[in-house]
Structure 1
């Protein structure tokens, strides 16, 4: 029954991801056409204008003409190739699930090259746009830059894992890469949903609310996909744990202290602070509870590798508030931002960057286990065999 239920959830999640990606592809490809040719069709703008209001769209896009115009060719390259990636992602996932190895490798090469080209366009835009001129301000610029770096590094590490014949690591890095890419369609969904839940907000305000949790949501989705595809109870050479109870307890104490400080800071900023705090805290606590329960159940059922991976990510999640607080102080002093904007930027990138760090630790854990097995084999091979004693 549990296996059947798990298979149903995996199938449902796969279908949902495919529908979102395929539906967003034409939106991404046509999003910037009106900036190049006035009156050109833009599917996303048309849909959003009917879901919310034309005024909501007009007010949001009026301030984008100048910043986008300075990097229009690069932005169009980024958006069109972003739509292509939305189609390549599901194709890659389905080819991997169905064991179409040659097709998967060919699509993988196209996917990686498209990621690099698309992110090059985004990098040109960010380099030519001051943080204060970015949509929704400096915090959004920092989030975009962080997603860009995380996406490029993830696909690079995924390629290296594939070349090194480590499909388990390749799978995790590529899922994390696609998780970062999924921030684009999910943000567009929130552009349509949040004005219904929070009437009166501009699109810039919606962006500030959305980035409070998008990094946490996509990174957690990548982890769920990794765990669903890795059905091993144990991993080769992985013994014991890198996260004993004292380490896990210390991470909880440190993370809780930083989280209390963040809550107090946001509560001091009135209604805006409370709105941002709720957007951050609710998904964070939900993610924490699921991770905690999953690592506990894995330990009780004797699935040591599943427990280890859950625990590594749980520690990273616990430390995310500390990282966010430190990053907020850094942005405040280095970029001259006000404390609220700086802390919001730190929170927006905290969970996503710590998930990247956790995936790195998972990769090192698996690689270390592989080296342990190699050393054991070498020791066994080099050990001289004892033969019968000679009679003098």
Structure 2
């Protein structure tokens, strides 16, 4: 007994340290990002309004920086690029299309300039101080400051988001550095930010503080898309020093969706850890409705599971990924298709293991979640059944094999393979992570956390099918040739492969684990 208590104290202390480290890293990183955004907003984006020859000034600054790529020269173009160059070299950015993007900011229509300037200036406060709102110790000690920051946050975020959406409406995707995939993502996250703030206010008025915190975490996460993109450019350089900025940008776009939503989930987990557990809190109406719909849809879910298994076998055992689908050749560079095919052919057992593990983990997770949601099964100890033990191990196998295949695919400079194996690696890591979390929750008999992990797995495991389905849909859109050349025919479906994570985050907001702080 004493040994068990000591173990619990150890893991509890480790959890507290990790939580504090996570929150402080968010606070510091976003604080620095906000400060840099303030410099950009008051200098770069105000230049067209304060200087008559803004276009000439920025054009000359770009020419000087490219002729002599130093930190000092680059600071004349952008404070943001100067800061990013501290992690790599100025030449990485002077050789990139970010220079042309800077010139476009000075030459674009006045309405676009007003929209982006308003967006940047109004979002500075949210980014700089928003992270403090999720620091439990700060909130508890400085509640008045917390409420003051929250009031300003709620007043400024809608203005910043609406300004960003106006800019997106006025700007064609090819005039955005991150192109079509960013244009689509920014619309989604922008609308979601407005919805989540509205829902957070409603939850606060109803005194559902646990829901309020979760919705605010989602709203804050939606605002992190642009800062995280820049941070990823800096943080990934040491891992891929030979990859140019344009290729690295495609990699970061592949990371963006799961990264943002996992940060949201992390913020919710941290705040749960410091809250008093509530065992008798009634379920939200939305949670009851979701559970009822899920249980009634089990025949359909099992049908989807059978289709996913057949799909995986067809594309990864019988076939070889994208080379098995005709539309891929029109949207994806031949070099990337051949690279994926060569990796799958070189490792047939791992490819087959990935296909089967993914295909079997989905129905196993679906059945385990059904058992957890059924009161009769719950009373009988559904969390200790054989299926509940098999599910996390299948998820771990699927995640690890996916990581292996993605890592073997690798990256190549100059967009030869676009984002390469990023889709497999990122989704694999997240699947393996939630498989491990499910295993831990099962061993600790944490039913609420088990349900949450299972929902994440059900949203992640179909990623190969979602990728190929979106690839087919994109082929019907008849993208312009320059969009396809920029890699959008592949990067957009790759990003969409994790789109069901939005469903998992809604479960986090309304689920038992958030409601009862477990």
Provide the TM-score with structure 1 as the length reference: 0.79
Contact kept, 8 Å, 2:87 with 2:237, in 1: the verdict is no
Asked whether the 8 Å contact 1:161–1:170 carries over to 2, the reply is yes
Asked if 1:66 corresponds to 2:104, the answer is yes
Alpha-carbon distance in structure 1 between the residues aligned to 2:463 and 2:198: 24
The change in CA–CA distance for 1:26 and 1:254 in structure 2 (over 3 A counts) is: same
- Given the two structures, how large is their TM-score scaled by the length of structure 2? 0.62
The reply to whether residue 52 of structure 1 matches residue 88 of structure 2 is yes
Aligned to 1:347: 494
The residue number in structure 2 matching 1:27 is 36
Aligned partner of 2:12 in structure 1 is 3
Partner of residue 135, structure 1: 177
Q: Give 1:349 deviation, angstroms.
A: 4.3
The reply on whether 1:278 has 2:421 as its aligned counterpart is yes
Query: In the alignment, is the contact (CA less than 8 A) between 1:158 and 1:171 conserved in 2?
Result: yes
1:147 corresponds to: 189
Q: CA separation of 1:306/1:95 partners in 2, compared to 1, >3 Å: closer, same or farther?
A: closer
Indicate the residue corresponding to 2:118 in structure 1: 77
Match of 2:375 in 1: none
Do the aligned partners of 2:33 and 2:128 also contact (CA within 8 Å) in 1? no
CA distance in 2, matches of 1:132, 1:255: 37
2:352 matched residue in structure 1: none
Superposition RMSD in Å: 3.6
Cα-to-partner distance string for 1:209-243 (whole Å, 9 max, x where unaligned): 10101211221122233233225485734599947
State the shift of 1:320 in Å: 4.3
- Do the aligned partners of residues 260 and 187 (structure 1) sit closer, same or farther apart at CA in structure 2, a change above 3 Å counting? farther
CA distance in 2, matches of 1:164, 1:259: 49
Could you tell me which runs of 5 or more consecutive residues in structure 2 were left unpaired when the two chains were aligned: 1-9, 48-56, 62-75, 323-331, 340-411
Q: How many residues are treated as equivalent by the alignment?
A: 368
TM superposition shift of 1:8: 0.9
In the superposition, relative to structure 1, how do residues 322 and 79 fare at CA in structure 2: closer, same or farther (>3 Å)? farther
- Within 5 A, what are the aligned runs for 1:70-109? 70=109, 71-94=112-135, 98-99=139-140, 100-109=142-151
Distance 1:163 1:113 in 2: 16
Structure 2 CA distance for aligned equivalents of residues 280 and 259 of structure 1: 19
User: Is 1:187 aligned to residue 232 of structure 2?
Assistant: no
Q: Aligned partners of 1:286 and 1:52: how far apart in 2?
A: 26
After TM superposition, list the pairs within 5 Å mapping 1:188-207 onto structure 2: 188-199=230-241, 201-207=243-249
Structure 2 CA distance for partners of 1:138 and 1:258, relative to 1, 3 Å:
farther
CA shift in 2, pair 1:161/1:324, >3 Å: farther
TM alignment of 1:1-392, pairs within 5 A: 1-32=10-41, 33-37=43-47, 38=57, 42-58=78-94, 59-64=96-101, 65-66=103-104, 69-70=108-109, 71-94=112-135, 98-99=139-140, 100-199=142-241, 201-231=243-273, 232=277, 236-237=281-282, 242=291, 254=308, 257=311, 264-265=321-322, 267-268=336-337, 270=339, 271=412, 272=415, 274=417, 276-334=419-477, 336=479, 338=484, 341-351=488-498, 353-365=499-511
> Relative to structure 2, which stretch is displaced further, 116-125 or 242-251?
242-251
Conserved in 2, the CA contact under 8 Å of 1:131 and 1:141? Answer: yes
Deviation at 1:3, TM superposition (A): 0.6
Q: Find the aligned partners of 1:201 and 1:130 in 2 and give their Cα distance.
A: 27
Say which is worse superposed, 265-274 or 18-27, in terms of deviation.
265-274
Superimposed CA distance per residue, residues 338-389 of structure 1 (whole angstroms, 9 cap, x where no aligned partner)? 49523411322443x422222223445559x99xxxxxxxxxxxxxxxxxxx
Are residues 72 and 10 of structure 1, via their aligned partners in 2, closer, same or farther at CA, if it must alter by over 3 Å?
same
* Higher alpha-carbon deviation: 234-243 or 357-366: 234-243
Whether the 8 Å contact between 1:327 and 1:343 is mirrored in structure 2 is: no
Q: Distance in 2 between matches of 1:190 and 1:356?
A: 21
- Asked whether the equivalents of residues 259 and 321 of structure 1 are also in contact (C-alpha less than 8 Å), the reply is no
Larger mean Cα displacement after TM superposition, 15-24 or 163-172:
163-172
Which stretch has the larger CA shift, 252-261 or 17-26? Answer: 252-261
Q: Distance in 1 between matches of 2:138 and 2:91?
A: 44
Preserved contact between residue 92 and residue 108 of structure 1 (Cα < 8 Å): yes
Q: Name the SS for the 1:276 alignment partner.
A: coil
Q: Secondary structure at the match of 1:165?
A: coil
2:279 and 2:473 map into 1 onto residues whose CA distance is: 40
The alpha carbon displacement at 1:287 in A equals 1.2
Name the CA shift for 1:114/1:319 in 2 (closer, same or farther; >3 Å). Answer: farther
Note if contact 2:135-2:271 (Cα within 8 Å) is conserved in structure 1.
no
Q: Is the contact made by 1:327 and 1:346 (CA closer than 8 Å) also made in structure 2?
A: yes
- Cα deviation for residue 15 of structure 1 reads 1.4
Question: 1:26–1:83: 8 Å Cα contact kept in structure 2?
Answer: yes
Paired residues of 1:21 and 1:86 also in contact (CA < 8 A): yes
- Preserved contact between residue 95 and residue 103 of structure 1 (Cα < 8 Å): no
Distance 1:260 1:28 in 2: 48
